[in-house]
Amino acid sequence: MKFLGIIPARYASSRFPGKPLAILGGKTMIQRVYEQVNAHLDDVYVATDDSRIEAVVKSFGGKVVMTSVNHNSGTDRCYEALTKIAGNFDVVINIQGDEPFIQSSQIISIKQCFRDISTEIATLVKPFSFHDGIEALENPNSPKVVVDNDWRAIYFSRSIIPYLRGYDKADWLKHHTYYKHIGLYAYKTTILQKITSLPQSKLELAESLEQLRWLENGFTIKVGISDVETIGIDTPEDLKKAEEFLKIK
């Protein structure tokens, strides 16, 4: 199978305007993400709506495609980019542009999900550990995932799922394996076209999680496991933490 990596990158951000161009360890964030994944895919493009990002990607020798400013999600931007990129690809991997420490093992894990020929969409999870604590489990910005026996997602939620009856909440991580969603997606190209034509769903609007739209419409999401904890950057404060992480990495 041929895998195309697309990194959606927009300039506008309420919490961190210009985030893809923020400097981390002497390189822009978008360059770090690009270089982390480039060796493991058949091709990689940045999909942006901003000429400043386009210019920076070209300056470091990366491939870039311009897309609309009106997209509501990275998935929508990926599909438009796919329609503009030459070549025949079986799978598109949607790589978040604010994950400069994404690891090769994570790209490999999500690609392996497509060894199952029935896989339509794939994503990754990481088990919570007891040492993460109940505060991490309760964090609504860290969605949880429940999977079936074939490692397909049953549901994603910002709430803790499942509820562990009969145990004190402080001990839930001792008695059950909870899975943290890692926001890396891959889609068969034929499926990407279908899911981007769907209207927003009730569950998606309730939880603000677009993958619930796919589940509500009968698509399946294969789940792979990652044992890597990466640092996502949502704010300037996160960037400072990433700089410190880079020094000890």
pLDDT value for 221? 98
pLDDT value for 229? 76
pTM over 0.85: yes
Percent of the chain with pLDDT over 70: 100
* CATH superfamily name and code, 3-123+181-199+209-248: Spore Coat Polysaccharide Biosynthesis Protein SpsA; Chain A (3.90.550.10)
245 pLDDT more than 90: no
Give the C-alpha separation, 91 to 24, whole Å.
Answer: 30
Alpha-helical runs (H) found in 2-48: 29-37
- Total Cβ atoms within 10 A of residue 206: 11
Domain locations in the chain as residue ranges: 3-123+181-199+209-248
pLDDT tier for residue 249 given thresholds of 50, 70 and 90: low
pLDDT in tens, 162-192: 999 999 999 999 999 999 999 899 999 999 9
Q: Report whether 156 contacts 147 (CB < 8 A).
A: no
Beta pairing, strands 179-188 & 121-127 = antiparallel
Average pLDDT score over residue span 101-106: 93
**CA-to-CA separations, 55 to 63, 66, 124, in angstroms, rounded:** 10, 11, 31
127 pLDDT more than 90: yes
Give the C-alpha separation, 143 to 85, whole Å.
Answer: 32
